[in-house]
Structure 1
């Protein structure tokens, strides 16, 4: 029977004093905590499966609250999702949930979060994101390609990345619907996807991520990606999920 393997971890990094990232893999969520080693979960094909990372906004109160709200909403909504319209609607429900939770709470004012992830269906995969957390795909040749679309301005000259975001769930702009980025892909045996927060991609260049994925299987790859971010200074929370389509369970 075909299966889906998801290998994930979440770590505070070396600079932040707490983890504002959250993770959802099907019914399983990990919110604002730390995994010491990559964990792998196996799922059979047949039911919708959401795998997503939410990265609470740094510099604002309640980032971990916003990211946890979003992944818990996606865990609950995941079994009912079946196309791009339903995913877009779900992300706007998440957006409203973040605003509603902050209403009347000065300690949570302007809290927000990015989100990026995948919805795996029997014959396709939908990638989605709001903000600058990312989804990557590796093709048969091992080449890494980003399939999410960053909601961020171009980096300044001489810089590889930027910390600014132009669209998030919640945040300080006042309530308005978000416009998620959505893309659909046909599933094939051996496909691999990487969903991650910018705690991985800001310090670790794409070519280094690609090199790790070319060489290592899922568990070792997740560890080596985390280690690369730590070796680069671990400036932010690091959360990632590797998704692989297998042939026989």
Structure 2
């Protein structure tokens, strides 16, 4: 029997007052909280299983509200995400839900709250990769770590490695704006390993360091070492990540 192992954590980092990231693994969610150690969950492959992170838009009040709303909604519809179209429809619905919630809560200053989202849906025989914004999905390959999500960011200047600007997200504007989610499918292969994370990991930690850490065979330890690398780099932002492995029993 094939199964999915997920080792995940979420932490505010060293400089932010609160954690505006959220995480979903199947029916399980972590919203605006702190995990002291990686949590590992194991699921048999069968019903579609979604693993995703959401990063509340920095500089906008209500980022934690937006990210929590999205992961909870994804958790509720996760078992029905059996196609690319179903996944796109779900992300469109999340975008509308964030805009609607911002309208209701505009008096609390949440009128432009928004969030990124990135993750995978594991199904028998295939895996869907999706994102809106600059949270990432990376795949561990024989030649290193390859990004399989698509950043919604403006082109980088020569020598520039990161940017805090996103060109689309869920919510984030005072007037409703549709999104074009990035969704791709790839074959499900035993031994495949993915890193799903917010930019609190990828901004401070260079790609070569991420590659080296992902060579650690123990998923829980890899998750811990990734978090530690972000903290040692100053922990400038919230850090949420999940190491996902496809394995045979």
SS in 2 for 1:103: helix
How far apart in 2 are the matches of 1:123 and 1:28?
A: 23
Q: Which residue pairs with 1:245 in the alignment?
A: 246
How far apart in 2 are the matches of 1:25 and 1:228?
A: 23
Q: Unmatched 5+ residue regions in structure 2?
A: none
How far apart in 1 are the matches of 2:178 and 2:119?
A: 19
Q: 1:70-149 residue pairs with structure 2 within 5 A?
A: 70-104=70-104, 105-106=106-107, 107-139=109-141, 141=142, 143-149=144-150
Q: State the 1:206 CA deviation.
A: 1.3
How far apart in 2 are the matches of 1:215 and 1:76?
A: 33
How far apart in 1 are the matches of 2:229 and 2:198?
A: 14
CA contact (8 A) 1:154 1:162 kept: no
Aligned residues between the structures: 247
Q: Which residue pairs with 2:48 in the alignment?
A: 48
CA contact (8 A) 1:142 1:210 kept: no
How far apart in 2 are the matches of 1:114 and 1:46?
A: 27
Q: State the 1:155 CA deviation.
A: 2.6
Q: 1:134-173 residue pairs with structure 2 within 5 A?
A: 134-139=136-141, 141=142, 143-172=144-173
CA contact (8 A) 1:20 1:237 kept: yes
Q: Normalized against structure 2, the TM-score is what? A: 0.97
Q: Normalized against structure 1, the TM-score is what? A: 0.97
- CA gap of 1:142–1:28, structure 2 versus 1, over 3 A, is farther
| Cα root mean square deviation, aligned | 1.0
Q: State the 1:154 CA deviation.
A: 2.0
CA contact (8 A) 2:132 2:169 kept: yes
Q: Unmatched 5+ residue regions in structure 1?
A: none
